[in-house]
Structure 1
Amino acid sequence: MIKAFQIISILEGISLLLILFVTMPLKYIFEMGMPNQIIGMAHGVLFLVYVVMAIVFKTELNWNFKTLLIVLACSIIPFGTFWMDKKYLAGKA
């Protein structure tokens, strides 16, 4: 199950980076909104799964509330999920 959370966290991080650095410039500079809609929907689903899995793993990995907040905050910071994976999940799978 931890391996699934690692995969979701990496995919969520990649989708955030795609939105910020690929689809948003396409949308606002080149007026191509479709990539943003597709990646945005995927990112939304991945984000929700990430949040639910983080809450589930709070008890399984004995995280305190502060750690849970850090893990959740990592989902909205570019490259945050990659750091979170290394700090809190590496070696646990």
Structure 2
Amino acid sequence: MKNSAVHRLRLVSMPEGVSFVLLLVCSVLKRTTSFDAVPVMGMVHGILFILYVIFALDSWRKQPWTVKHASWVLLLSVIPFGGFYAERLLAREEQEGIAVPA
């Protein structure tokens, strides 16, 4: 049986990671060209980041995660490409049906 809290976190981790990378690309393009998509990508990434944090805290509350594991999942949201690793970590956890230590 899939844990809905971990599943929701897993579903938002990949788009959050993609939006973070796109925001970094848009920031570079803003400074090197006349292309300025930072306001739009900033808002998209901000909404996805807030959802990620809310879902991570909800998963921590509902799962038998240690403080170390929960901190690792939250830290992955601020590392470039961390969302991709978080998705793989959460997929493995969801598939095994138990908490995977970080």
Q: Quickly name the TM-score band, shorter chain normalised.
A: 0.7 to 0.9
Mapped partners of 1:3, 1:44: distance in 2: 20
Mapped partners of 1:54, 1:67: distance in 2: 11
Q: Structure 1: which amino acid aligns with 2:91?
A: L
Mapped partners of 2:91, 2:60: distance in 1: 12
Aligned counterparts, 1:1-80, within 5 A: 1=4, 2-21=6-25, 23-33=26-36, 35-80=37-82
Q: Could you list the runs of 4 or more consecutive aligned residues of structure 1 that deviate by over 4 angstroms after TM superposition?
A: none
1:85 aligns with 2:81: no
What stretches of structure 2 of length at least 5 have no aligned partner?
Answer: 96-102
Shift of 1:31: 3.1
Q: How many residues align?
A: 91
Cα gap change, 1:72/1:64 in structure 2, threshold over 3 Å: closer, same or farther? same
Shift of 1:40: 0.6
Q: TM-score, normalised by structure 2?
A: 0.80
Alpha-carbon RMSD? 1.5
SS in 1 for 2:94: coil
SS in 1 for 2:80: coil
Q: TM-score, normalised by structure 1?
A: 0.87
